[in-house]
Structure 1
């Protein structure tokens, strides 16, 4: 029901509605438009605009399609987590998303240095991404310490791949700004393309997974999409490198 193109068309207020809806489908099906307006802290006009961007004529039709979507998910998949994962793969099954991956691969192949940057779990994924790229023939390094000193000139002809769920971590943003000032191209992989990190990047790839937190502190949003994106970029890099060898 929610295509990647539709989600990317949402502004920040409409995205707040989307986040609530995707996390509370059952509740929304029994809400009035005014009740949804109150819990999402947006106007009813914003909700109607959101419904229109979801290709429905109004809130009533949107709820009907939402109900049909929920029922189809329950019939197809045994668990809620699986349904969200399958929904991700459906959303990215299009030429637009493939084009983003191609652009990332081209940028990586055309640079002499590839650096992965991330903190916490994103740092661990950065290490995996660096190893995967190295395995396919493009040497890459990872940094999980945003304060790690790097000599002048190191980032010449480089691309930095930055991983972050929120794209708002202060230390990461400072390091990205520093890398940009040293002429490093920035590719970011984030959950939303409206975050600050995405706006600082030369290329952003957003995956729009349901945000999840435990104990109001620990982020457990699925990172399976990030692994998939890294591996798909790596395979495209491998093909480009092989094509260059045959020329």
Structure 2
């Protein structure tokens, strides 16, 4: 509901309706269509067109979806923050799995044969991408990071490169087009995600999943990044063995 694509398609009247709704969501969820039309100074027909543009047959369906969105926000905002210890301890126990060790070794072998290493991520994953590039470079593997997927990367740099993609959800819409281009150029992709069934995981040559419970506080994803940090350092140390 209210995706960036939808918002960008609004005309001036629709944008004024959206602005009013976004600032009065709890009130609008219980309004009649005439009341909303009066508050936003538009016709009921305009309200109905706005609803249809947001994939709702009418104002009643729109209010149902709005109430669902409010309930979702309430669950996130009232969620008690848990100690990170449990998730981290569980991950470290799983890190002893031979399958994970083999994935790290295989990824390290792939990275060691590449001419360049490019880290990519946004948000918290972007911070991890910057850290990964610095850590790999410190151990002798020159790397760069991209936290803006529109950042131009020269074809010579991409040639014989390995891209290490970081994404908690594995569905980052800004990273996916970049990875698709890399795939078409037949360069290699290693991804670290929280789920091996995600889109980014599936298009990667090697995916390293870490499986911790995703956590949100209000609208922010606060899922721990400790596993990513650990996996990056482990991989970098394995790569250094091939130098």
TM range (shorter): 0.5 to 0.7
Larger Rg: 2
Find the partner of 1:159 among 162, 166, 185: 162
The SS at the match of 1:221 is: coil
**Residue equivalent to 1:150:** 153
Moved over 6 A (4+): none
Pairwise mapping of residues 132-211 of structure 1 onto structure 2 (< 5 A)?
132-211=135-214
**Residue equivalent to 1:239:** 241
What displacement does 1:181 show? 1.5
The SS at the match of 1:160 is: strand
Gaps of 5+ in 1: 1-78, 242-247
**Residue equivalent to 2:94:** 91
Find out whether 1:219 has 2:185 as its counterpart.
no
What displacement does 1:149 show? 1.6
What displacement does 1:80 show? 4.2
The SS at the match of 1:188 is: strand
What displacement does 1:151 show? 2.6
CA distance in 1, matches of 2:83, 2:157: 45
2:214–2:223 contact (8 Å) kept in structure 1: yes
TM-score (norm 1): 0.64
CA distance in 1, matches of 2:230, 2:113: 22
**Residue equivalent to 2:133:** 130
**Residue equivalent to 1:20:** none
Gaps of 5+ in 2: 1-81
**Residue equivalent to 2:122:** 119
Moved more, 220-229 or 181-190: 181-190
Give aligned pairs, total: 162
Pairwise mapping of residues 2-151 of structure 1 onto structure 2 (< 5 A)?
80-151=83-154
**Residue equivalent to 1:66:** none
TM-score (norm 2): 0.65
CA distance in 2, matches of 1:131, 1:152: 22
CA distance in 2, matches of 1:184, 1:127: 21
**Residue equivalent to 1:230:** 232
1:133–1:140 contact (8 Å) kept in structure 2: yes
CA distance in 2, matches of 1:127, 1:189: 14
